[in-house]
Amino acid sequence: MQDERQSALSRRNFLRAFGGASTAAVATAAFVPTEAHAYDPGEEETRARYQETDHVKTFYRVNGYPKGK
């Protein structure tokens, strides 16, 4: 009985140490500085798309937005 209890505790300690070591490794990897690269959206993503259509004007009118122009 004592041997079973002792082996159960050693397994538990092993898993506890393994969990702590893996957590420490992940935390260390998360804080490694890397060089940042800027995102270039390109011409297609920066073009103007907003058009004030009748549908948009009706939405503003129904929802009580103040008139702009």
Domain range for residue 53?
2-62
69 lies in a domain?
no
What single letter denotes the amino acid at residue 36? A
34 lies in a domain?
yes
68 lies in a domain?
no
Look at the pTM and tell me if it is higher than 0.85. Answer: no
67 lies in a domain?
no
pLDDT tens track for 8-67: 567 777 777 767 777 766 667 666 677 888 888 888 888 888 888 999 999 999 999 887
50 lies in a domain?
yes
- Number of domains, the chain: 1
49 lies in a domain?
yes
